């Protein structure tokens, strides 16, 4: 990556921030000047007021959603690695399963949420299973691609140095696959929040999903938006945690 | 001085006897190497010269135990080779540095894999790097280096664990002509210092003549060695050697042989 000068670096922060602020300003202006009813579109200031007002309640609901999304994200990481390792280690297995796995992805998986309720009930295990089911795929495909993208010459080099398959795996294949795994994990972070919220829509008595559903039934639009802001923060936190982890792991593994 | 092994004793080091490599393809068997016999003495620098696709790289990999031998045999240090050995160092066409490791860590990679003592080899790695002019680049990443610098680092990596034999598979063919000449000098410099047995695959006639004690000319069809030419140019050699009559005569002799074998191949196989 080329070294950004101070001016460029400032712009990369200032441009998106400025755009977001401008957007909020226009929203605020439109909502107040045209006197749009708050039930249709509350102004940003209404949302902030709502956020501050029901802070305790939002935090309480977010604790369920956040914890479950985190768990689902970790689970999809584990499942993704296991599936990728399985497919990478055996060519017949890969030929049998990989096309089916891709075809399976064409099903809109959100539509399967009621099935998980039938199979696993309406509690956290059901939501976790559903959310993991939605989010492990990019991790599995990313990691598999990474394991297979290892420079064949690097493997040959290791062989010429009489390296064992496990040494080749550890010293070459894993480091090559790490960026792929983590970009899969970043997608999984977003998907796992979606999975949990959808699960909460369907079956939960707590969490931000059910909170939004309840607010919707009472036409408390500002409340919905406030919950959305909190959901955004949860997604960002998960994403950030993964980016941080990536930095740590790559530093440790790649020396 | 580096504490590398003594220059090797004279004697036979690599011996190929009617070595074959046959690939099974959809269009039937393909003879990549067709009954090649040659030998390399200890401390000798031998170049295998041939047109691209003549199977010379395959032959080299067979010598390193990286490709199975279909028939015949290749012995290294008296024992038939069946798998890679630590007494053999291999340089590939690409530098194949690991992109996340620094130059120094790349050079130390064999030491890490072979579980050799890190501290004493660290000193050796640094000395090798300074020998090829990479002092000050130890902590650079490969992408920060030019192609020539990357191959220099690859030379150091091939030498850091002190193998007796160096197998080189067109290591400089991806470089521009000027860098390539520099690399040839750097390689000769190192080789005269440690007198490793070297087997060097190339499709450049001038490179083969400049580097080697002997040039084996390899044909495409059949994929076998058609000539074994001694290069009686005294060492140490420097770029001025390239202007001499002897050098240019040797080059034109070799060129004639390659063209001749090419024509012969074309006459036999109409679509070659």
B113 at interface of A, judged by CB pairs closer than 8 A: yes
Section B125-151 average pLDDT: 91
ipTM: 0.84
Nearest to A28 by CA among A12, A10, A46, A40: A46
Reported as a pLDDT band with limits 50, 70 and 90, residue B73 is: very high
Section A87-93 average pLDDT: 88
Pairing of strands B165-169, B88-91: parallel
Kindly state the tokens that stand for B47.
Answer: 């170049």
Which of A1, A155, A157 to mutate against chain B (most B CBs within 10 Å)?
A157
- Is the pLDDT assigned to residue B6 strictly greater than 50? no
| Claim: this prediction has a pTM higher than 0.80 | no
Confidence at residue B10, expressed as pLDDT on a 0 to 100 scale: 57
B89 at interface of A, judged by CB pairs closer than 8 A: yes
Q: Where are the domains of chain B?
A: 12-87+163-268
Confidence at residue B182, expressed as pLDDT on a 0 to 100 scale: 87
Confidence at residue A59, expressed as pLDDT on a 0 to 100 scale: 94
Kindly state the tokens that stand for B218.
Answer: 């390899």
Confidence at residue B272, expressed as pLDDT on a 0 to 100 scale: 35
- Alpha-carbon span A205 to A3, nearest angstrom: 50
Domain range B12-87+163-268, CATH class = alpha beta
Average pLDDT, chain A: 90
pLDDT tens for each residue of B202-227: 999 999 999 999 999 998 878 889 88
Which of B84, B108, B138, B150 to mutate against chain A (most A CBs within 10 Å)?
B84
Section B58-69 average pLDDT: 92
Kindly state the tokens that stand for B24.
Answer: 């099974």
Section A225-247 average pLDDT: 94
Nearest to A2 by CA among B97, B144, B145: B144
Minimal-distance CA residue of chain B relative to A170: B113
Exposure string for A194-219, b = 16+ CB within 10 A, e = fewer: bbbbbbbbbbbeebbbbbbbebeeee
Q: List CB contacts (< 8 A) between B98 and chain A.
A: 154, 172, 175
- Is the pLDDT assigned to residue A44 strictly greater than 50? yes
Pairing of strands B225-230, B214-218: antiparallel
Question: Would you state the torsion angle of the CA atoms of residues A234, A236, A241, A246, taken in this order, to the nearest 10 degrees?
Answer: 150
- Alpha-carbon span B227 to B28, nearest angstrom: 29
- Alpha-carbon span B120 to B125, nearest angstrom: 9
Section B149-153 average pLDDT: 92
**Third-level CATH fold of A39-254:** MetI-like fold (1.10.3720)
- Is the pLDDT assigned to residue B167 strictly greater than 90? yes
* Strands of chain B, DSSP E: 12-25, 28-41, 45-49, 71-76, 79-80, 88-91, 165-169, 197-202, 214-218, 225-230
């Amino acid at each position: 990556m080329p070294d950004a000068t101070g001016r460029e670096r400032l712009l990369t922060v200032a441009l998106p921030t400025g755009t977001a602020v401008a957007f909020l300003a226009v929203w605020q202006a439109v909502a107040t000047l045209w006197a749009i009813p708050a039930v249709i579109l509350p102004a940003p200031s209404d949302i902030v007021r709502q956020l501050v007002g029901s802070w305790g309640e939002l935090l309480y609901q977010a604790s369920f959603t956040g914890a479950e999304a985190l768990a689902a994200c970790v689970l999809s990481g584990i499942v993704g690695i296991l599936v990728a390792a399985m497919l990478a280690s055996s060519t017949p297995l890969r030929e049998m399963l990989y096309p089916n796995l891709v075809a399976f992805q064409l099903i809109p998986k959100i539509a399967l949420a009621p099935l998980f309720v039938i199979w696993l009930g309406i509690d956290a295990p059901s939501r976790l299973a559903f959310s993991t089911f939605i989010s492990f795929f990019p991790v599995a495909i990313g990691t598999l691609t990474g394991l297979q993208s290892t420079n064949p010459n690097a493997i040959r080099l290791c062989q010429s140095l009489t390296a064992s398959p496990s040494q080749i795996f550890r010293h070459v294949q894993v480091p090559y696959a790490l960026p792929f795994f983590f970009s899969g994990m970043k997608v999984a972070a977003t998907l796992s929040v979606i999975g949990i919220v959808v699960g909460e829509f369907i079956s939960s008595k707590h969490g931000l999903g059910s909170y939004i559903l309840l607010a919707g039934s009472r036409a408390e639009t500002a409340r919905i938006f406030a919950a959305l802001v909190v959901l955004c923060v949860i997604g960002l936190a998960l994403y950030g945690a993964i980016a941080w982890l990536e930095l740590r792991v790559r530093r440790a593994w790649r020396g | 001085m580096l504490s590398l092994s003594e220059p090797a004793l004279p004697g036979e080091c690599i011996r190929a006897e009617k070595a074959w490599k046959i690939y099974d393809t959809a269009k039937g068997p393909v003879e990549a190497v067709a009954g090649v016999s040659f030998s390399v003495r200890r401390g000798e620098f031998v170049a295998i010269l041939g047109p691209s696709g003549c199977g010379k790289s395959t032959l080299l990999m067979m010598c390193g135990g990286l490709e199975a031998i279909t028939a015949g045999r290749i012995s290294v240090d008296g024992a038939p080779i069946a798998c890679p050995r630590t007494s053999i160092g291999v340089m590939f066409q690409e530098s194949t540095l690991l992109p996340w490791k620094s130059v120094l860590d790349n050079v130390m990679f064999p030491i890490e894999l072979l579980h050799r003592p890190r501290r004493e080899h660290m000193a050796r790695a640094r000395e090798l790097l300074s020998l090829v002019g990479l002092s000050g680049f130890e902590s650079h990443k490969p992408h920060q280096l030019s192609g020539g610098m990357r191959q220099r680092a690859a030379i150091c990596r091939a030498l850091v664990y002190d193998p007796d034999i160096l197998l080189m598979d067109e290591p400089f063919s991806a470089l521009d002509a000027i860098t390539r000449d520099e690399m040839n000098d750097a390689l000769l410099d190192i080789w005269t210092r440690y007198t490793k047995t070297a087997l060097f695959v190339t499709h450049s006639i001038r490179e083969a003549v400049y580097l080697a004690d002997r040039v084996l000319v390899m044909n495409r069809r059949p994929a076998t060695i058609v000539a074994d030419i001694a290069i009686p140019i005294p060492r140490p050699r420097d770029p001025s050697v390239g202007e001499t009559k002897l050098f240019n005569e040797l080059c034109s002799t070799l060129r004639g042989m390659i063209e001749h074998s090419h024509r012969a191949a074309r006459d036999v196989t109409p679509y070659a």
